[in-house]
Amino acid sequence: MTSKERVRASLNHTDPDCLPMDFGSSFITGIHCSVVEALRKHYRLESRPVKVCEPYQMLGEVEEDLLDVMGLDVQPIFPHRTIFGFPNENWKPWTTPWGQEVLVSEHFKTTSDKSGNTYIYPQGDMQAPASGMMPKSGYFFDTIERIDPDFDEDDLKVEDNLEEFGLMSDEEAAYWQKQAEQWRGCERAISVHLNGTCLGDIALVPAPFLKHPKGVRGVADWYMTVAEEADFVKELFDRQAEIAVRNMKRLNEIAGDVIDVVVVCGTDFGTQQSLFCSRDSIADIWFARYKKINDWIHENTNWKTFKHSCGAIEPIIDTLSDCGFDILNPVQCSAEGMDPKLLKEKHGKRITFWGGGVNTQQTLPFGTPEEVRREVLERCEIFAPGGGFIFNSIHNVQALTPIENMVAMIDAVKEFNGQTVS
């Protein structure tokens, strides 16, 4: 099987020739740039600066040679613009606060304060207020909340929180045309992030990509709005879904035959112990809007739809399946009620688990290589039979993750597949 055939087989809940694996195909299945550099060094690949493909989390691009040596099956086509609103183009060198030499977009513009904190600017415009801050001792950017001084919580306007959701521009269409031409015929599965289908993803609510965002942009304010102003949120999501469908039609015309997997939404519904809100609220506010997006995709394309939600979300996995999601990520097995055996037995015939392969809060960063190996093999034995599993860690691989643990994880998957390990 090619990688594309392998991924498609597993997504269709049939056994592929071996377990597919992904690292780096999305902004929620990626690897911190420092770890990408360490992997390149370990595998004795050409020494060159890592490209920071997603500056918000400082994720590194997993290039073709590293995809090959790790045995990865999924190739990303990243959005035209980063979470800070600028395209990745005309790469330039930048030295991170921890001393790594990386490559960033020419629009990646930063300043530092006396304490050594680093600030980044929306769309690369240093005349606008900074929208992200990396602490001196940090390894990624935190969002800076920028609240419009004229914001009135008693006079909410849908248009204010809709300003980032426009129709695909000719510039963006040209970008997708170029990407489609480049990746048509690729033997790996192709994954993309859809534009505008986030429906309340808290990472995007503060709009770090807008110079002067209006509307509800504070994290706490947004959660209170969801709880107290459900009609406002539903109208916003209805409008957003309408725009999204129109954009998907255009994307399908340009690159529909190239794409295998679409990341629809990253809204988190779970904490470590419970849901953020009730099943009834999720059904009332999100269900119909998700279903509209997913139904259009399934009726008009061969794409598989990918839903990210951290936390203890077992009680709503059936709901997510009912509204059309094919894939669940990151499969946070350490959260309450998220036992791997339960998940596979109860939901494994309806939804594909993309993740869950190893705990990135404890085992991968702090365990021994043998502990990593054992956990990876155990998860593979549980999730892999019958398809419906793409191996990935539980969310992005973080900075400072020991390289020996990364290699133990990769080798364990190869061991499960009966392949030669390093």
Contact 192, 263 (CB under 8 A): yes
The pLDDT value recorded for residue 93 is 98
The pLDDT value recorded for residue 421 is 78
Q: What is the pTM of this model?
A: 0.97
Q: Convert the pLDDT of each residue in 342-400 to its tens digit.
A: 999 999 999 999 999 999 999 999 999 999 999 999 999 999 999 999 999 999 999 99
CA-to-CA distance for 244 and 195, rounded, in angstroms?
7
The pLDDT value recorded for residue 4 is 98
The pLDDT value recorded for residue 420 is 80
CA-to-CA distance for 133 and 408, rounded, in angstroms?
33
What stretches in the chain show pLDDT beneath 50? none
The pLDDT value recorded for residue 346 is 98
Q: What CATH architecture does domain 3-28+70-82+151-416 belong to?
A: Alpha-Beta Barrel (3.20)
| Sign (positive or negative) of CA dihedral 93, 96, 102, 103 | negative
The length of the chain is 422
Beta-carbon contacts of 347 under 8 Å, excluding residues fewer than 6 positions away, are 317, 318, 321, 328
**So where are the chain's domains?**
3-28+70-82+151-416
Two structure tokens written together for 7: 């991924």
The pLDDT value recorded for residue 20 is 98
The pLDDT value recorded for residue 225 is 97
